[in-house]
Amino acid sequence: MIKLKHPIQKHLIPLQNIIAHMDNDQYPAETEQEEEYNEDANDVEIYSKQAILGFSIFFSTIFGGVLMMQNLRDAGYKKMGYTVLAFSIAYTLLAIVLAAVLGGNIKYIGMILNLIGSAILTEYFFNKYFPGDNHNPKPIWRALAISVLIMFAITLLLLYVPGLKEQLEAAK
């Protein structure tokens, strides 16, 4: 047993061990020490409520649902993320059926149904899992570029695949 000369030395020995590990470029995983990492939910970058609302209205509820799913997964709610995605897919399919049935009778039915879907995503799911307004916003540019490319691809399919447009119109 080492006898310490001064009471402060008992605090310096652990500090010397830490410095020695830093000099060797070793990290806690390599030195068999456990690394404690507690990430606060407010430190996670998430898509804002307005981003989810905009994507849901102008693209469809599936697009807003994918953003909400990504938020939930980033915050550690992986299973709930899949639930939100399943909801947004089911809601979009229901909206397509309703738009086909009511399409001629109500102007802007698609936009109205997307608005309802976005309200469910933002006012229920977002507020439930991300209460308050102090969140780090995630940039939307990548998601926006992907969404525009998907919509562009769908438009090209409708324009250039022979008979696809007629088949979709006949299905109504």
pLDDT of res. 33: 42
| pLDDT the model gives residue 32 | 47
Please give the average per-residue pLDDT across 83-105, as a whole number: 88
Residues 124-162: tens digit of each pLDDT: 999 999 988 888 899 999 999 999 999 999 888 888 888
112 CB-near residues (< 8 Å, 6+ apart): 106
Domain that holds residue 103: 41-171
Mean pLDDT of 106-110: 79
Q: According to the model, what pLDDT value does residue 99 have? A: 84
- The residue among 102 and 39 whose pLDDT is bigger is 102
Reduce the DSSP state of residue 136 to 3 states and report it.
strand
The string of pLDDT tens digits covering residues 38-60 is: 355 557 899 999 999 999 999 99
Position 161 in a domain = yes
> Quick one: DSSP state of residue 154?
H
Element (H, E) at 27: none
| Structural domain contains residue 107 | yes
pTM of whole model > 0.75?
A: no
Within a domain: 146: yes
Specify the number of domains making up the chain.
1
Whole-angstrom distance, CA of residue 112 vs CA of residue 99 = 10
Q: Is residue 112 part of a domain?
A: yes
| 102 part of a folded domain | yes
Of 22-31, 35-44, 109-118, minimum mean pLDDT range: 22-31
Considering the domain boundaries, does residue 88 fall inside one? yes
Residue 61: pLDDT band by 50, 70, 90 thresholds?
very high
> Is residue 27 predicted with pLDDT exceeding 60?
no
Residue 142 lies in a domain: yes
Tokens of 99: 């738009």
Q: Is residue 162 part of a domain?
A: yes
pLDDT surpassing 70 at residue 1 = no
The DSSP-derived string for 60-126 is: -HHHHHHHHHHHHHHTT-HHHHHHHHHHHHHHHHHHHHHHHHHTTTSTTHHHHHHHHHHHIIIIIII
